[in-house]
Structure 1
Amino acid sequence: MTKNYLLEIGLEEMPAHVVTPSIKQLVQKVTKFLKEQGLTFKNIKPFSTPRRLALLVEGLSEQQDDVDLVQKGPAQKIAQDQEGNWSKAAIGFANSQQMTVDDIYFEDLKGTSYAYIHVQKKGKTAQEILPELAGVIKSLTFKTRMRWASNDFEYIRPIHWLVSLLDDVVVPFSVVDVQAGRQTKGHRFLGDPVVLARADDYEEALKNEFVIADAADRKAIITSQIKELAAANSWQVNLDQSLLEEVTNLVEYPTSFAGSFDAQYLAIPEEVLITSMKDNQRYFDVRDQDGKLSNHFIAVRNGNRDHLDNVIMGNEKVLVARLDDAKFFYEEDQKFPISHYVDRLNNVSFHDKIGSMAEKMQRVQKIGQIIAQQFALSEQSMVDFNRASEIYKFDLVTGMVGEFAELQGIMGQHYAKLAGERDAVSLAIKEHYQPITAESKLPSSKVGALLALSDKLDTIITFFSAGMIPTSSNDPYALRRYAYGIVRILLKQKWALDFQTALPELIAGLDGLTPAPLPKSGAETAQIASFIRDRVKQYLQVADYRYDVIDAVLASIQQDPLKINQAAQVLEQHHDDQQFKPVVEALTRINNILKKVKPAGNKVVDDTLFENDSEVELANATAVLMEQTDFEQLYEEFVDVRPIIESYFNDNMIMADDDAVRMNRLTQLSILNRLSHQLGDLSQLVIK
């Protein structure tokens, strides 16, 4: 027979972003606890609102299974000394079974006496076990915690009530000074306390007191209400999922409503309006049927429809105050030329160890000029880049960005357009922040991509130079994210950049442009190159390449993310081909030989030392391979060369007695091995 168990933690209002991860954590920890305790169950249904974390364990077993088994321990000669005293091993064995050494007995097994314990335990009831959930509740972790009253206990918010019901029976325990019982609370303003008769009554009882306890149900209600408002007014509404999730976790009883603002504010860039509505007020923006931003919004109230007109008026009033501020800053910022703001950047610190924001822009321009030489950009693109790099941080000191920090780059684009800058320049100002997250949008333009790449490279180089290098557990300046962005930009643009050779030139070009001492040794430069290369591995893992393909290409001679990725594509594509295994085996055989013995510095093959046609054929085939710059073509050539390699090994003794012949053959194999290492260390591949 099974029962249903209800656990609820009643709290002061939690921040919206905490609710979902907290209920997931509670479900995970309770699931683990029940399994460890040997209590089976059919399902755990979670409930969460800003004021509660709860779950209903359905089909919970009434008690643990009884235990009746014999456990084998150490040999008697280990369990006891010659005087019959118990050893630590015997005591530990008994303790592990929650027994004592008095329970140990000995029996022979294949001529050796071993210690045994007969364990007989009646399973505990769920009623006896569940009070230990107090420890699970206390174990929940939060990024921020607080104390209340005179308690030393810390939690996300003060605990006001606890519910612990096994069917209709209270399972008593306490957390701090709060006793678990059967009383929960309804909506803070609309509902009353509820005494639950049974665990199964929870969801319906709260609904009667204006609490929709199931977060999925609240989200569905909000979605439906917004769609109804949109349909009734012929609006288009983008149901931003992050905002929808946040609003769901801000309310217990959702009622959606529409409001409006004066159309004069539509003259402000729409990003400003959307930010004011979404980020500051948690409103959904509205568009007309042509996709143009409308002077309306949709919001969600934590309550019913009573006095909704007053609620709408209050929300409109608050929004207009924000829009008045935005309008003021927008108009004031345009009173000064871009040069005015650029000059002010001399007094804005990028980092106290690295220099000002103006100095950063100088370094970024220098980096872009150096690396662009490899990207074949047009003359106009470079003119646009140089202009963008001179001004791209100017909006940081505008009034609008000072008020709405999330609009940096976006306002730079708008103000640059208004000032008459070319579209490529204004777009690059916006795009240089991209990608903002590991998977977010990349720059769409060449100029924007070059500016974003140069900006991120400068940040990594200068922070490493200042000794602020990420550790395995700490990356306060998000340098890994910047490096991952660099990799993604290079791959999207199909730009080749070998960091091992590019970084020394970049660092030399930055000399005198930062107070931080730039890397002097090859080891310091290699550390930065390795840091970026590690993000290539991350990219390949996210792209779901085979682990052995990733290992192979990262062990290659390549230091260019684009080429490493291209090599991975080729190996992944052909991994299951019929010819793949014999090709890899042939090239791996060469690699294994050269691990044991290397040519004495010879780089050129002497064809006068050839003794048979197979050496000539391999030399001719190698010459063709050396001309291949495309990895797909290189692999196809290796497929064709594979029989020649096999003939070469059949016809030649590599370790010939003649020193010159031996070294010539090793040199020939060494050149072929270097060519194969453009794809990767093929010995890392797992082939069947």
Structure 2
Amino acid sequence: MAKDVLVEIGLEELPARFVDNAEKQFLDRTREWFNESRISYESIVSYSTPRRLAVLVKAAAEEQTSLEEAVKGPALKIAQDEDGNWTKAAIGFTKGQGKTVDDIYTKDIKGTSYIFVTKQIIGKPTKELLPEFSQIITSIQFPKNMRWAEQTLRYARPIRWLTALFGQEIIPFEVAGVSTNNRTFGHRFLGEAVRLREPADYEETLEKQAVIVDPQKRKQMIIEGMNKTAAENDFHIPEDDRLLQEVANLVEYPTVFVGSFNPSYLKLPADVLITSMKEHQRYFPVKSKNKELLPYFVGVRNGDNHALQTVIKGNEKVLRARLSDAQFFYEEDQKQSIEFYLEKLERIVFQEKLGTIADKVNRITAIAKQLSGALELDEGTRTNTVRAAEICKFDLPTNMVNEFTNLQGIIGETYALNAGETKASARAVSEHYMPVQADGNIPGTVEGAIVSVADKLDTIVGCISAGLIPTGSQDPYGLRRQATGVLRILKAYNWNISVESLLQLAEQQYAGFSETEEDQAREETAQFFRHRITYLLKETSIEQDVIQAVLYNEIGVIPYMALKAETLSNERNNPDFKPVQEALVRVLNLAAKTDETTITEAVFETESEQKLYDTYLKVKNAYTSTNQKQQARETLNQLGRLAQPIHAFFDHNMVMTDDERIQKNRLALLNSIATLIYDYADLSAIEWKQHF
């Protein structure tokens, strides 16, 4: 007979950002444990609130599934003597497995006979195994941990109760001095302690105690509450999935309410108001049907409707104080010029070894100037880009950014417009921080993209030159994220400039500075970008061997390199391409034996030699043309024209002939062809055969 299993970890309030991942870990590790323990079940569901993590296993079997396995013994020639009697080795083997010689059977493995017995592993009662759940609980990882009282366990928050049931029986175990029980706790203020009769009662019992344990149900309650509020007040509440998820993980019983603030605060930049509401108070901003910000906000209370007006007034008071501070900071900031703030940057250290923020801005500006020239931008775009680079960090010393740090760049755009800067330059000030996350939005303007790349390149090259290379999970300057951002921008904007050229622009700013040798720093930087490119290509399902092939030489132009990788990834699964691959790889293998490059036509002995050489010259010209146009498919097709002449060459010629002059000439021909192939990719690195 199957029974349900419930395990709940009761905690002091978890940070909202910890909840989802912890719930997933608990679910995954529970499922893994049941499967490895051979305990069948119908389904597993998980629950979470700020104060609890729980799993409910439906219809778990009362005992493990029994197993039969073949146990291999010694070879038959050892297990039997010349008369066919079982030896001590055979008798000892069977005895050790709880069997007798009567249970022996033989089986041939690679031409040798071995003795076997079939051993049955009887499943244990589930009840005896379930106390191992304590190990699942202690294995859950959190971004930050703490210790409490005399406990040695490190956990996100102190464990206050453990509920563990197998049917109606308590599963006995202990974690951090807390023993399991059939008791759970309701809402901190609206509920009380209750005893569960059986696991199936869990969700309904806690709902009566003002706890909605299903996070999706809490989210739906919040959405329905906001929709109702919007309809009643005839306004629009913009969707924000991240904020919705966070708020759902802050409450156990959500109740939506509407508050207001003085309309005079609407004179502040909208981003300031929205940040004050979202980031500081976890409120949802409210807009009109025309998308204009209104003097209202929507909040979510952890509780019911009791004394809701008092709660609303308290939240309004807190927000009013925030907005009052913001208004003061904004008005004070407007009294100073951009130049005033730029001068302040000279006293703000970017990094001890890399100078001040002002030093960094100077380097960004120099890189942006050269990059704008390399991209052959029009004069207006270049002017706006350089100006954006010059002022890209001016908002950092402002009162507003000091108070609302996540508004850096956004405040810069607003203040730049107030100061009379062009819209393009102002916008680039905001966009140059993008992407904020590795997979975040990239800048929407060319000016913003150039300043973003210049800023990130300066940080990456500077930090690596100073010996600040990320190790393991430690990356305090976000170099991996910034490198990913650079590569994504290069690909999205289809810039025809190599990564090596870009790095050189940044490295020029650090000439003579490097804490390590300049050549070493340059190599470490290139290798760092190779790792990032490898990661990005894997994200697009490009195979590791194809990545290795296209990165044989320099990294090159990112959009073209990505196209070559995609083309090769498709061809490696194409049977029609196999003869081409075999021919080209054969050339690469032989060319590795020589450095010869001088080809003398007069030395050719056979028609196939001359034909291969003539084809090579034609292909080389066509290859150069398509390669310059970055036509990945057509360029590979040009190399494919060499396949038939190569096969004919090998059919009619011996490369390593005794005549040294002929041998060198043939190797020189192959080496020249190999140089062309390598320019595209190292095709020998691709594991073609496993796909045919």
TM-score, length basis structure 2: 0.89
> In the TM superposition, what are the counterparts of 1:618-637 in structure 2 within 5 Å?
618-628=616-626, 629=628, 630=630, 631-637=632-638
Which moved further from structure 2: 4-13 or 468-477? 468-477
Counterpart in the other structure of 1:435: 435
SS class of match (1:152): coil
Q: Which residue of 1 aligns with 2:192?
A: 192
Note if 1:124 corresponds to 2:99: no
* Gap runs ≥5 in structure 1: 80-85, 95-99
Q: Which is further off, 478-487 or 104-113?
A: 104-113
Q: Cα 1:442–1:464, aligned 2, differ >3 Å: closer, same or farther? A: same
- 1:193-226, Cα deviation, whole Å (9 max, x unpaired): 2122222111111111111111111111111111
Task: Note the C-alpha offset of 1:332.
Answer: 0.7
Classify the secondary structure of the residue corresponding to 2:680. coil
Determine if contact 1:106/1:115 at 8 Å carries over to the other structure. Answer: no
Aligned to 1:678: 679
- CA 676–190 in structure 1, closer or farther in 2 if over 3 Å, else same: same
Alignment of 1:451-462 (within 5 A): 451-462=451-462
Q: Give the 3 Å change call, closer, same or farther, for CA 139–617 of structure 1 in structure 2.
A: closer
Q: Are the structure 2 counterparts of residues 78 and 278 from structure 1 closer, same or farther at C-alpha, using a change threshold of 3 Å?
A: farther
Instruction: Give the match for residue 550 of structure 1.
Output: 547
Asked if the contact 1:366/1:510 (under 8 Å) is kept, the reply is no
Measured in 2, the distance between the counterparts of 1:414 and 1:77 equals: 88
- Tell me how far apart the structure 1 counterparts of residues 194 and 282 of structure 2 sit (CA, whole Å): 31
Supply the distance in 1 between the matched residues of 2:307 and 2:166 (Cα, whole angstroms): 40
User: Counterpart of 1:444?
Assistant: 444
Q: Distance in 1 between matches of 2:566 and 2:518?
A: 34
Which residue identity lines up with residue 210 of structure 2 in the other structure?
Answer: F
- Secondary structure of the 1:350 match is strand
What code does the residue aligned with 1:625 have?
A: Y
> Shift in Å at residue 265 of structure 1?
1.3
Matches within 5 A, 1:127-146: 127-146=127-146
**Gaps in structure 2 of 5+ consecutive residues:** 80-87
3-state DSSP of counterpart to 2:456: helix
- Distance (Å, rounded) in 2 between the aligned partners of 1:10 and 1:129: 22
Q: Distance in 1 between matches of 2:347 and 2:677?
A: 53
Match of 1:327 in 2: 327
Q: Distance in 2 between matches of 1:361 and 1:557?
A: 29
> CA offsets, 1:498-535, max 9 Å, x none?
344554564234337xxx53664434312211211221
Q: Does 1:541 align with 2:538?
A: yes
Q: CA deviation at 1:418?
A: 0.6
Q: Which residue of 1 aligns with 2:83?
A: none
Moved more, 526-535 or 274-283: 526-535
The CA distance in 2 between the partners of 1:670 and 1:593, in whole Å, is 8
The residue aligned with 2:84 is none
Residues 659 and 620 (structure 1), Cα distance of their counterparts in 2 relative to 1, 3 Å cut: farther
Deviations 1:168-201 (A, max 9, x none): 2222333233222222111111112212222211
- Please name the residue that 1:82 is paired with: none
Checking the alignment, whether the CA contact within 8 Å between 2:461 and 2:506 is kept in structure 1 is: no
1:594-625 Cα offsets, whole Å, 9 max, x none, are 12x224353xx444545545133432333332
Cα distance in 1 between the residues matched to 2:386 and 2:67:
77
Provide the C-alpha distance between the structure 2 equivalents of 1:116 and 1:73, rounded to a whole number of angstroms: 6
Partner deviation per Cα, 1:465-509 (whole Å, 9 max, x = no partner): 111112244323221111111111111121233344554564234
Aligned mates of 1:313, 1:632 — CA distance in 2: 66
Q: Distance in 1 between matches of 2:654 and 2:65?
A: 71
- Tell me, yes or no, if structure 1 residue 667 matches structure 2 residue 677: no
Q: Which amino acid is 2:207 matched to?
A: K
Paired with 1:552 and 1:102, the residues of 2 have a C-alpha distance of: 52
Show the counterpart of 2:510.
510
Query: Could you say what secondary structure the match of 2:511 adopts?
Result: coil
Counterpart residue type for residue 274 of structure 1: I
Alignment of 1:464-613 (within 5 A): 464-500=464-500, 503-504=503-504, 506-511=506-511, 516-517=513-514, 520-556=517-553, 558-572=555-569, 574-575=571-572, 579-595=576-592, 597-602=593-598, 605-610=599-604, 612=607, 613=610
Could you say if the C-alpha distance between residues 527 and 312 of structure 1 is closer, same or farther in structure 2, counting changes exceeding 3 Å? same
Aligned residues: 668
The one-letter code sitting in structure 2 at the alignment partner of 1:9 is I
The offset of 1:648, in angstroms, is 4.3
Aligned to 1:179: 179
Deviations 1:224-264 (A, max 9, x none): 11112122223222221111111111111111111121221
1:368-387 equivalent positions in 2, closer than 5 A: 368-387=368-387
Task: Report deviation, 1:684.
Answer: 2.9
* TM-score w.r.t. length of structure 1: 0.89
Alignment of 1:15-414 (within 5 A): 15-66=15-66, 71-72=71-72, 123-414=123-414
- Tell me the secondary structure at the aligned position of residue 9 of structure 1: strand
Are 1:420 and 2:416 an aligned pair? no
CA–CA distance in structure 2, aligned partners of residues 627 and 665 of structure 1: 26
String of CA shifts for 1:381-411, please: whole Å, max 9, x gaps.
Answer: 2222222222211111000000000000111
Q: Shift of residue 66 of structure 1?
A: 4.7
CA contact (8 A) 1:105 1:116 kept: no
Contact 1:363 1:510 in 2 (8 A): no
Q: For 2:18 and 2:428, how far apart are their aligned partners in 1?
A: 35
Report the Cα distance in structure 1 between the residues aligned to 2:675 and 2:192, rounded to whole angstroms: 77
Residue pair 1:507, 1:519 contacting (<8 A) in 2 also: no
Show CA shifts across 1:648-670 (max 9, x none): 44555544555454434433332
Residue 283 of structure 1 contacts residue 299 of structure 1 at CA under 8 Å; is this kept in 2?
yes
SS at match of 1:64: coil
Post-superposition Cα deviations, 1:106-146, rounded to whole Å, max 9, x if no partner, equal 78877999998986765432222222322322232223222
Change (3 A) 1:76 1:137: farther
One-letter amino acid of the structure 2 residue matched with residue 618 of structure 1:
Y
Call closer, same or farther: CA 1:48–1:562 in 2, change over 3 Å. same
1:638 maps to 2:639: yes
C-alpha separation between the residues in 1 aligned to 2:217 and 2:146?
30
Go from structure 1 to structure 2 and tell me whether the alpha carbon gap of 1:376 and 1:607 turns closer, same or farther (over 3 Å shift): farther
After the TM superposition, which of the residue ranges 620-629 and 495-504 deviates more from structure 2? 495-504
SS at match of 1:394: coil
Tell me if structure 1 keeps the 8 A contact 2:50–2:251. Answer: yes
Taking structure 1 as reference, are residues 363 and 467 closer, same or farther at Cα in structure 2, changes over 3 Å only? Answer: same
Shift in alpha-carbon separation, 1:661–1:381, aligned structure 2, 3 A? farther
Q: CA RMSD in A?
A: 3.1
Contact between 1:237 and 1:284, CA under 8 Å: does it hold in 2? yes
Q: Check conservation: 2:546, 2:565, Cα contact below 8 A.
A: yes
Same amino acid, percent of matched pairs? 38
Separation of aligned partners in 1, 2:450 and 2:578: 41
Aligned to 1:319, the other structure's residue is in SS state helix
Counterpart residue identity of residue 36, structure 2: E
* Cα drift, residue 316 of structure 1: 1.3
What is the match of residue 97 of structure 1?
Answer: none
SS of structure 2 residue aligned to 1:415: helix
Distance (Å, rounded) in 2 between the aligned partners of 1:319 and 1:681? 61
Aligned CA distance change for structure 1 residues 680 and 309 (closer, same or farther; 3 Å): same
CA gap 1:419/1:666 in 2 versus in 1, 3 angstroms? same
Alignment partner of 1:440: what SS? coil
Per-residue CA deviation, residues 343-384 of structure 1 (Å, 9 max, x unaligned), is 011110101121111111111122223333321122222222
Alignment partners' CA distance in 2, 1:305 and 1:139: 39
- In structure 2, distance between residues paired with 1:243 and 1:256: 14
Distance 2:114 2:572 in 1: 53
**1:280-308 CA distance string (max 9 Å, x none):** 11111121111122221111111111211
